[in-house]
């Protein structure tokens, strides 16, 4: 059964689902919706137009839904939407969207946000992602599904990271990362495919197809977008997805290609 500690403040208007636990000295503002079976630890703040799904666990001293850290924000209604089955660890800060970015920050399902993670305004995170301690996503960043961001890694605003990609710890990422790839360094550059992650999720034949495609893309004297435009037509869906991501990239890909 859920319980609300007598020292917690839940403002009138907040919608609290079944079996929700709210710890001591936590604060839930009037426009918040929390789904069933969530656990909110002590000294947690959840405010603004924030919607949280079911079965989430939010640890102590997290601040969820406080106004964007954007000087252009002028008090307009903006939202934060969090899905189901997420773990949000201690001292994490998550901001809602801004008018200029569509007004919504959105986090999917089954994500782990470790301690001191910051999710800025208008960020979009897919499902099954892991952000290690003190990873920092600037405004408008987009993460696909199954992304891993290592600890103490800042990600520049408007950067996109594709499905099953990994950014190594203590890196600094300022350009896009294609799906299925691994980047590392300051500034982070492609180091190859995220083979460990891929082996957990896709078949060996698909990985081999990605290896061939990766070599064509990044070990050639042919322009990157030209190669990618050809690979979009590939029958392998993973190869096609990686190529499409590269063609659509606006910040450029985090790689200096080797020229044979």
What CATH number corresponds to the domain at position 113?
2.160.10.10
Note the pLDDT of residue 2: 85
Q: Name the active-site residue from 118, 121, 140, 156.
A: 121
User: Has residue 211 been placed in a domain?
Assistant: yes
Q: Is 139 a catalytic residue?
A: yes
User: Has residue 173 been placed in a domain?
Assistant: no
Mean local confidence (pLDDT), 42-53 = 98
Specify whether 40 is located in the same domain as 130: yes
Specify whether 146 is located in the same domain as 202: no
| pLDDT tens track for 142-191 | 999 999 999 999 999 999 999 999 999 999 999 999 999 999 999 999 99
Q: Is the pLDDT of residue 259 over 70?
A: no
Specify whether 153 is located in the same domain as 243: no
User: Has residue 166 been placed in a domain?
Assistant: no
Q: What is the pTM for the complete model shown?
A: 0.97
Specify whether 215 is located in the same domain as 153: no
| pLDDT tens track for 51-80 | 999 999 999 999 999 999 999 999 999 999
Specify whether 9 is located in the same domain as 99: yes
Specify whether 202 is located in the same domain as 86: no
- Domain, as residue range, for 225: 198-248
Note the pLDDT of residue 257: 53
Specify whether 113 is located in the same domain as 58: yes
User: Has residue 187 been placed in a domain?
Assistant: no
| pLDDT tens track for 221-257 | 899 999 999 999 999 999 999 999 999 999 999 997 5
Omega of the bond prior to 187 within 30 degrees of 0, cis?
A: yes
Percent of residues, the chain, with pLDDT higher than 90: 97
| pLDDT tens track for 95-146 | 999 999 999 999 999 999 999 999 999 999 999 999 999 999 999 999 999 9
CA distances from 187 to 80, 240, 251 (A): 30, 27, 14
Separation between Cα atoms, residue 188 and residue 133, nearest integer Å: 18
Specify whether 223 is located in the same domain as 135: no
User: Has residue 54 been placed in a domain?
Assistant: yes
User: Has residue 172 been placed in a domain?
Assistant: no
Q: Is 234 a catalytic residue?
A: no
User: Has residue 98 been placed in a domain?
Assistant: yes
Residue burial 45-82, b: 16+ Cβ < 10 Å; e: rest: bbbbbbbbbbbbebbbbbbbbbebebeebeeeebbbbb
Angle among Cα 28, 13, 73 to the nearest 5 degrees reads 65
Q: Is 122 a catalytic residue?
A: yes
Specify whether 148 is located in the same domain as 32: yes
- At 212, is the pLDDT very low, low, confident or very high (cuts 50, 70, 90)? very high
Q: Name the active-site residue from 139, 144, 146, 150.
A: 139
Specify whether 129 is located in the same domain as 55: yes
User: Has residue 36 been placed in a domain?
Assistant: yes
Q: How many domains does the chain have?
A: 2
Specify whether 149 is located in the same domain as 55: yes
Specify whether 212 is located in the same domain as 114: no
Q: Name the active-site residue from 70, 84, 109, 122.
A: 122
């Amino acid at each position: 059964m859920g319980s609300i500690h007598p020292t917690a403040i839940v403002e009138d208007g907040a919608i609290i689902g079944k079996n929700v636990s709210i710890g001591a000295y936590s604060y839930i503002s009037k426009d918040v919706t929390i789904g069933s079976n969530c656990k909110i630890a002590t000294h947690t703040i959840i405010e603004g137009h924030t919607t949280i799904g079911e079965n989430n666990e939010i640890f102590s001293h997290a601040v969820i839904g406080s106004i964007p850290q954007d000087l252009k924000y002028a008090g307009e209604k903006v939202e934060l939407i969090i899905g189901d089955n997420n773990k949000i660890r201690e001292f994490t800060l998550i901001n809602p969207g801004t008018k200029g970015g569509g007004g919504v920050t959105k986090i999917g399902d089954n994500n782990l946000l470790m301690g001191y993670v910051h999710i800025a305004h208008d960020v979009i995170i897919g499902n099954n992602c892991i952000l290690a301690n003190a990873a920092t996503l600037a405004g408008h960043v987009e993460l696909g599904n199954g992304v891993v961001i290592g600890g103490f890694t800042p990600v520049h605003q408007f950067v996109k990271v594709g499905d099953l990609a990994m950014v190594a710890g203590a890196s600094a990422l300022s350009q896009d990362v294609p799906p299925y790839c691994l980047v590392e360094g300051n500034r982070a550059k492609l180091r190859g495919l995220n083979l460990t992650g891929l082996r957990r999720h896709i078949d060996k034949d698909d990985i081999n197809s990605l290896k061939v495609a990766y070599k064509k893309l990044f070990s050639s004297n042919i322009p990157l977008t030209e190669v990618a435009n050809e690979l979009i037509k590939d029958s392998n869906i993973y190869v096609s997805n990686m190529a499409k991501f590269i063609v659509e990239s606006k910040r450029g890909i985090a790689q200096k290609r080797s020229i044979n």
